[in-house]
Structure 1
Amino acid sequence: MASLSRPQKDLHESLEAQASRFSANVATSNTYAVHRAIICPRSEFFAAACRNAFREDAEGRISLPDDEPAIVDMMVQYFYRLDYRQSPEPEDDPSVTDQKQKSNGGAHSLLLHAKVYTLAEKYAIGGLKDLALSKFKTAAAQAWDTADFLNAATEAYTSTVDSDRGMRDAAIEAFAKHKDLLSRNDVKTAIEGLGSFAFDLLMYFHRKGRIWDV
Structure 2
Amino acid sequence: MFKRSFRSQDRVEKSAKLAKKSNTARDPQKISKLQQSLEDTLPVKKNLNSPIVTLTVGREGRLFAAHEEVLCQSPFFQQACRDQYLEPQSKRISLPDQEPEVFSAVLEYLYKGDYYPRLLHNKHRNSWELEGASRSPDPSNDNTAGARGAVEATMYVPSVGQHLLRDTVVYCAADKFGLEELKRLSLRKQGLQSGIDVGTILRSAQYAYDNTPDTDSRLRAHYLALIIRCRKTFKRSGTMQAEMERGGKLFFDLFVAMCNHLDDVVELSNARTPKTV
The bucket for the TM-score relative to the shorter chain is 0.7 to 0.9
Which of 27, 48, 69 in structure 1 is aligned with 2:100?
Answer: 69
TM-score for both structures, normalised by structure 1: 0.72
Any unmatched runs of 5+ in structure 1? 1-18, 87-100
Which of 100, 103, 113 in structure 1 is aligned with 2:149?
Answer: 103
How far did 1:162 drift? 1.3
1:38-68 deviation line (CA, Å, top 9, x unaligned): 221x222201212344315742111111111
Residues 1-214 of structure 1: matches in 2 within 5 Å? 21-28=50-57, 29-40=61-72, 42-56=73-87, 58-85=89-116, 103-105=149-151, 107-108=153-154, 111-139=165-193, 142-180=194-232, 181-209=234-262
Whole-angstrom distance in 2 between the partners of 1:71 and 1:191:
29
Which one has more relative contact order, counting CA pairs under 8 Å at least 6 apart? 2
SS state at 2:66 partner: strand
Whole-angstrom distance in 1 between the partners of 2:264 and 2:196:
21
Whole-angstrom distance in 2 between the partners of 1:77 and 1:120:
12
How far did 1:150 drift? 1.8
Q: Is the 8 A contact 2:154 2:166 kept in 1?
A: yes
How far did 1:72 drift? 0.9
Structure 1 vs Structure 2 CA RMSD:
2.9
Q: Is the 8 A contact 2:198 2:239 kept in 1?
A: no
SS state at 2:174 partner: helix
The structure with the largest strand share of the pair is 2
Tell me the percent identity.
27
TM-score for both structures, normalised by structure 2: 0.57
The structure with the largest helix share of the pair is 1
Q: Is the 8 A contact 2:149 2:195 kept in 1?
A: no
Q: Which has the larger radius of gyration?
A: 2
Paired residues in the alignment total: 180
Whole-angstrom distance in 1 between the partners of 2:151 and 2:263:
29
1:80-127 deviation line (CA, Å, top 9, x unaligned): 1211127xxxxxxxxxxxxxx773446526621111111111111111
SS state at 1:55 partner: coil
Q: Is the 8 A contact 1:107 1:146 kept in 2?
A: no
